[in-house]
Amino acid sequence: MDITNKKILVCDDSILARKQLMDAVKEVADGGTFIEGVNGQDAVDKYKAEKPDIVFMDIVMPEKDGTTALAEIKEFDNDAVIIIVSSVGTQEQLKKAIQLGAKDFIQKPFEKNQIKEIIELRLGGK
């Protein structure tokens, strides 16, 4: 799958999680521009600056958590495609993320197939 013209924002305070996520996307798709964010505020700032096609974002992050960042990004762009990738998934947090407009929730540690499905679904048809 060719995603040459697509921008992907990967936001996680863990450098390992960012690397593994980018590795997983690269395995299923060619091209694409990766933008990295290290906390919730960074995610909001980089979203506004780059307008990525898809955002993968953790919940537990320093400075600003993923749920707050999600709300701020959706306020800026209601069409933002945001996928929560987190090990933390209480029913309350899940409900909140979905209410705020998250498109999907991936539980860590994720399988590469899950990333593939998301990429195909969210970027394949565009």
Partner 1 sequence: MYTQFLGNYLLQQGLVTQDQLFNAMSRLSQTHIKLGTIAIHEGLMTANEVDECLYVQTREDKRFGEIAVERGYLLEDQVSELLSMQTPEFLLLGQNLVEDGIFSYEELERVMFDYKSDTELYDLSLDVENQDAVENIISKFFVMAELQPNDLNVMYLELMFNSLIRFIGEDFTPLTPMVLDEFPITFGVTQMVVGDHEFETHIDCDRETAIAFSSRYAKEDFGEFNEYIVAALEDFLNLHNGLFIVNVSNQLSKDISLSPPYITEEGVISGPNKCVDFPVAYPFGTVHLIVAF
Distance separating alpha carbons of residues 64 and 40, to the nearest angstrom: 4
Q: Which is nearer to partner 1, 61 or 119 (CB)?
A: 61
Residue 74 beta carbon to partner 1: minimum distance, rounded to whole angstroms:
21
- By the rule CB under 8 A, 78 interacts with partner 1: no
Residue 118 beta carbon to partner 1: minimum distance, rounded to whole angstroms:
20
Residue 9 has phi, psi (to 5 degrees) of -100, 120
Structure-block tokens of residue 46: 């980089």
- By the rule CB under 8 A, 17 interacts with partner 1: yes
Residue 6 beta carbon to partner 1: minimum distance, rounded to whole angstroms:
26
Q: Which range binds partner 1 by CB under 8 A, 47-55, 56-64, 74-82, 116-124?
A: 56-64
Burial (0-12, 13-18, 19+ Cβ within 10 Å), 23: exposed
- By the rule CB under 8 A, 114 interacts with partner 1: no
- By the rule CB under 8 A, 1 interacts with partner 1: no
SS3 content of the chain, % helix, strand, coil (to 5): 45, 20, 35
Structure-block tokens of residue 43: 């995610």
Binding region for partner 1 (CB under 8 A): 13-17, 19-20, 60-62, 86-92, 108-109
